[in-house]
Amino acid sequence: MSDKTIQGDTASKAPRNTTGGWLSDLDRKRAAGPFLADHASPGTGMSTTAVHAGTHDDPRTGAVGTPIYQASTFVLGDNQYKSVEDGFVRDRFIYSRYGNPSQWAVQEKLAALEGAESAIVFSSGMAAITSTVLALMDKGAHVVASSDLYGGTFNLFNQEFPTLGMFATLVDPHDYEAIEAAIQPNTQLMYFEAITNPMLKVIDIPRLSEIAKRRNVRLVVDATFAPPVAMRTLDHGVDVVIHSASKYLNGHSDLIAGVAAGPRKLIDMIWPRLLNFGGSLDPHACFLLERGLKTLAVRMRAHEESAMALATYLEGQPKVQKVFYPFLESHPDHATAKRLLKNGTGNITFVIEGGDAAALRLVDALSIPKQATSLGGVESLISLPFNTSQATFTARQRADVGIDPGCVRLSVGIEDAADLIADFENALGTIYASKDLTHA
Ligand SMILES: Cc1ncc(COP(=O)(O)O)c(C=O)c1O
């Protein structure tokens, strides 16, 4: 394969230094990417983009779809040696921890979906989060973050930050005045999740971005619960958007991956952390993610259709005390959801009568949703915060974040709404017919 074909247009346009090296050239401009050549989306719609952007038919055989470049290393030619010498190794294939055509292909698709100049994939969502946060913060710096965070991110701030000389203040993500008040002279970052778990609070990202810009602080948002079909997070003024691609982006519960997307300038700052921490994504996993992404838009429509029908059904059930689904009018953030989200997601949280004992019986009585943590797969997944995601919390801590006894977390898959409703109808009927719960 010729160097021109495989190295992409970014590489061929990469600035060449005349004197002093590329890194010392203050006028340098970085092209978007790095991407393989000429694989932009032929249309602007999300489905067209999901199917075509970044996908790179095999130039040698014409095989449709990006080949899996299962290689750890690449033959070194003049181009590669020059990239090392001139400081643009990210624009050449040298070694797969640095970059691989399978990574570049899926990165181009992800960047196109997010409307970003650049994206990098990681071996997990946590690798994306850790690399991004540590790239954008110096020793001694401070982050203002949501008090409603994914547990792994909370652990990063709580367990790792003190040893790194970094500090976090956690604030209610709905209390915009407290968020601004928490900003200190050494605050470098604001870190929030677009939709929180499990209470599915929808955060006013444009408002956070206004604060961040005014106070000269960077804003990073984990949009795992709001993939690009639902929200193009960067369009709301966010600096870097992160996802656990293990969830909706891949969509098939068969892969762990993460992504960070944003302006190339910032992604180029995060990339050395990927190298240092070693969280690069294997080429086969890139293939799986790229394949999963092709159906993102249709999957999200199916998730929304089934979740909306099931949430509406659950809201009408006498034994269901509360239902949280952002597209229901009863959701406290319904207006924000309507304003920011183009599409609903599949996550519903609800509380049933009879507390956690009843919830345990419900998950056993259902036949379609699998009892498993995680979310965003084509199959419905169900779990209880009290014995999974918030198991280390005391009952009082759970109450503080709104998790009542009997709280159930459901990731609605793409199964037919009628089948899901029938399954819940049967399970609710069965558990409340039982004597113990009737008298609970
Ligand atoms: C909101 C959110 N962010 C990040 C992560 C971490 O992603 P991963 O498990 O891919 O490392 C998760 C995992 O559940 C998550 O729910």
Write the DSSP assignment of 277-322 as a string of letters. Answer: HT-PPPHHHHHHHHHHHTTHHHHHHHHHHHHHHHHHHHHT-TTEEE
Band (438; pLDDT cuts 50, 70, 90)? low
Residues 399 and 278 in one domain: no
The protein residue whose alpha carbon is closest to atom 14 in ligand 1 is 374
Domain edge (last residue) among 232, 260, 294: 294
Mean pLDDT of the chain: 92
| Contact of 200 with 347, CB cutoff 8 Å | yes
Q: What is the pTM of this model?
A: 0.93
Q: 397 C-alpha vs ligand 1 centroid, how far in Å?
A: 21
Greater pLDDT, 23 or 416:
416
Residues 371 and 229 in one domain: no
Q: 125 C-alpha vs ligand 1 centroid, how far in Å?
A: 5
Q: Residue 38: what pLDDT?
A: 61
* Range(s) of the domain holding residue 416: 297-438
DSSP-derived secondary structure letter, 100: -
Residues 288 and 316 in one domain: no
Q: 196 C-alpha vs ligand 1 centroid, how far in Å?
A: 12
- Looking at the predicted structure, is the pLDDT value of residue 16 above 50? no
Mean pLDDT of 185-204: 97
What is the Cα–Cα distance from 22 to 16, expressed in whole angstroms?
Answer: 6
Mean pLDDT of 293-312: 98
Domain edge (last residue) among 229, 260, 294: 294
Print the SS3 string covering 132-188.
HHHHHCCCCCEEEEECCCCHHHHHHHHHHHHHHCCEEEEECCCCHHHHHHCCCCCEE
The protein residue whose alpha carbon is closest to atom 8 in ligand 1 is 125
SS3 for 52? helix
What is the Cα–Cα distance from 108 to 37, expressed in whole angstroms?
Answer: 10
Band (12; pLDDT cuts 50, 70, 90)? very low
Please identify which residue in the block is written with the tokens 């976090």. 168
Please identify which residue in the block is written with the tokens 């995060």. 270
| Contact of 132 with 188, CB cutoff 8 Å | no
The protein residue whose alpha carbon is closest to atom 6 in ligand 1 is 125
Choosing from 247, 289, 349 the residue with most ligand 1 atoms within 8 A of its CB, the one to mutate for a pocket test is 247
Residues 196 and 134 in one domain: yes
CATH number at residue 414: 3.90.1150.10
Residues 246 and 337 in one domain: no
Residues 224 and 306 in one domain: no
Residues 282 and 313 in one domain: no
Q: Which atom of ligand 1 is nearest to the CA of 256?
A: 10
What is the Cα–Cα distance from 33 to 111, expressed in whole angstroms?
Answer: 8
Residues 283 and 313 in one domain: no
Of 99, 85, 138, 77, which Cα lies nearest the Cα of 10?
99
Mean pLDDT of 145-159: 94
Q: Which two tokens stand for residue 198?
A: 């499990």
SS3 for 371? strand
Q: Residue 349: what pLDDT?
A: 98
pLDDT digits (tens, 9 = 90+) for 233-265: 999 999 999 999 999 999 999 999 999 999 999
Of 153, 151, 156, which Cα lies nearest the Cα of 198?
151
Domain edge (last residue) among 257, 278, 294: 294
Residues with active-site annotation: 97, 150, 222, 247
| Pocket lined around ligand 1, Cβ cut-off 6 Å | 124-126, 150, 152, 193, 197, 222, 224, 244, 246, 256, 258
Of 102, 288, 98, 260, which Cα lies nearest the Cα of 191?
260
Residues 275 and 335 in one domain: no
Residues 250 and 361 in one domain: no
Q: Residue 25: what pLDDT?
A: 60
- Looking at the predicted structure, is the pLDDT value of residue 6 above 60? no
CATH number at residue 212: 3.40.640.10
Domains of the chain: total: 2
Q: Residue 398: what pLDDT?
A: 87
Q: Residue 2: what pLDDT?
A: 38
Residues 255 and 117 in one domain: yes
pLDDT digits (tens, 9 = 90+) for 400-426: 888 999 999 999 999 999 999 999 999
Residue 435 is which amino acid? Answer: K
Residues 310 and 188 in one domain: no
